Amino acid sequence: MNSAVSIRDVSMRFAGKRAGEQIDVLETVSAEVAHGEFVCIVGPSGCGKSTLLNIVAGFIEATSGEVLVEGERVHGPNSRRIFVFQENGVFPWLNVRENVGFGLRQSTQKERDLTIARYIDMVSLAGFENAYPHELSGGMRQRVEIARALAANPDIIYMDEPFGALDFLTRLKMRADLVRIWQSEKKTILFVTHDIEEAVQLADRVLVMSPRPGRIIEAVDVDLPRPRHLDSSGYLEKRDRIFEVMGMSLRVGETAA
């Protein structure tokens, strides 16, 4: 009962390109996210996982079902719950300092300066305070957005494939940093990705979705200590379990049974 987020029988149906055509994107999705929990949603591309996160965040309305946050029905976005966008939602007309401080309009100047400095430091961007987003790399821009989300001190952070556009090494580094920040800040995180390895590296629990119309077909508890070793048997076991649920085999040349 005491969940941070409750998703209850959420279905989503879009109008298709042809008249009268209906596309079912999500089918009675239900899930619970506990306070302080790090939950990843994985699924094949086009399964509706981004749509689900946008419904949970209140940007779009579900065709049926409801989303509750702290027991209250969600009717729209709220600054207690900050969304980190796939395509980078950092404002290009503001510099790093101004972007990170964007959610702090109500604070006093002194408080604001302290908070901005703290989170810029936390995402390792000290020295780039006055840089503009177009002068930064993709990974640095994504750090700015994470710092902007954290600085607003939300209860929940929604992340929609935030590292999808980054190169492999940057992605590994960003994951490690995100886990470190999550451990120190104690936020609830709901994280959407198509990358199974990413999900197992990050999450307390992984919700696996089916192809469209998306349903949650399994919840995998990843009760592994952090930092996680990517060659430990526990890690490989969880990863292979999710591959199996998604109907894929890891051995090259072999098709799913």
Partner 1 sequence: MNSRGAEIAVEQRSTSPSPKSETRFGDPDALLWRIVRPVGMAALFLTVWGLAVRWSGSDLFPTPGNVARGIFELIQKGLLLKYIVASLFRVSWGFALAVVIGVPLGLVLGWYSRAFQAFNPFIQVFRPISPIAWIPVAILWFGVSDAAPIFLIFLASVFPITVSAIAAVQNMQLVYLRAAQNFGLSTGELFRQVIFRACLPQIITGIRIALGVAWLVVVAAEMIAVNSGLGYLIIDARNAGKRYDLVVAGMVMIGLIGLVLDLLVRQLEKFDEVRWGYAGRRR
Q: Which residues bind partner 1 (CB under 8 A)?
A: 57, 59, 76-79, 81-83, 85, 87-89, 91-95, 102-103, 105, 132-134, 152
| Residue nearer to partner 1 on the CB measure, 123 or 152 | 152
Cβ 201 to partner 1 shortest distance, Å: 26
Cβ 96 to partner 1 shortest distance, Å: 12
| Residue nearer to partner 1 on the CB measure, 125 or 246 | 125
| Residue nearer to partner 1 on the CB measure, 166 or 224 | 166
Sign of the Cα pseudo-torsion (234, 122, 165, 104, in order):
positive
Q: Which of 217, 216, 230 is nearest to 179 (CA)?
A: 230
Q: Which of 250, 194, 186 is nearest to 204 (CA)?
A: 186
Distance CA 58, CA 142 (A): 22
Distance CA 36, CA 185 (A): 9
* Strands 3-15 and 64-69, bridge-based pairing: antiparallel
Bond into 133 cis (ω within 30): no
Cβ 132 to partner 1 shortest distance, Å: 5
Cβ 232 to partner 1 shortest distance, Å: 37
| Residue nearer to partner 1 on the CB measure, 47 or 156 | 156
* Strands 156-160 and 22-34, bridge-based pairing: unpaired
| Residue nearer to partner 1 on the CB measure, 102 or 243 | 102
Distance CA 24, CA 7 (A): 17
| Residue nearer to partner 1 on the CB measure, 57 or 178 | 57
Cβ 68 to partner 1 shortest distance, Å: 19
Distance CA 132, CA 137 (A): 11
**What sections of 124-195 are H helices per DSSP?**
138-151, 168-185
Cβ 99 to partner 1 shortest distance, Å: 10
